Amino acid sequence: MTDATASKELIITRTFDAPRELVYRAFTDPDQIVQWFGPVGFSVPRDTVEIDARVGGHQRLTMVSDDDPNMTSPVDATFTEVIENELLVGTEEWEGIPGQQEGGSMYMRIEFHDEGGKTRLVLRQGLYTEEVADMAREGWESSFTKLDTLLVD
């Protein structure tokens, strides 16, 4: 993928009906992330998850298709900025993403804003091609629907 085609930043804003400490923990606690991460139709086996939420720490996990366990999507990210309950910033190496050059990387910034007992989350990720940005948006929205359910329980 060339720089000319990788020009789309994905931005998603979503409000969760839970305090930001709980939403932040859902992103940094391995036992919680396996319950919601990945679009519907994908699972994250607990034994694939490692999270060390500090500058220089990492997030590693593997999404696995429920229909075809041979279809996997690993996540290998390094945190470059962490403010507990407020901010997670990092870079992610990818492989096996259709339309993306193998061995590439992208950035991600997740902000957690207090909205009177609720949490406004702002996610920025990219850069993507238009097609891949649309797929990533669908994946995040599906994941966030699962996160809504986890936060209510």
Taking the complete model, does pTM exceed 0.85, yes or no?
yes
What confidence score (pLDDT) does residue 42 get?
94
Peptide bond into 121 cis (omega under 30): no
Average pLDDT over residues 2-13: 74
Give backbone dihedrals phi and psi of 133, rounded to 5 degrees, phi first.
Answer: -60, -40
Q: Tens of pLDDT along 17-57?
A: 999 999 999 999 999 999 999 999 999 999 999 999 999 99
Average pLDDT over residues 111-136: 92
Q: Structural domain boundaries of the chain?
A: 8-152
Q: Using the predicted structure, report yes or no on whether residue 3 has a pLDDT greater than 60.
A: no
Q: Using the predicted structure, report yes or no on whether residue 142 has a pLDDT greater than 80.
A: yes
Per-residue b or e along 132-146, where b marks 16 or more CB atoms closer than 10 Å to that residue's CB: bbebbbebbebbbeb
Please tell me the CATH code under which domain 8-152 is placed: 3.30.530.20
Q: Tens of pLDDT along 54-94?
A: 999 999 999 999 999 999 988 899 999 999 999 999 999 86
Torsion, Cα of 82, 125, 39, 148 (10° steps): 50
* DSSP output for 42-94: EE--GGG-EE--STT-EEEEEEEESS-TT-EEEEEEEEEEEETTTEEEEEEE-
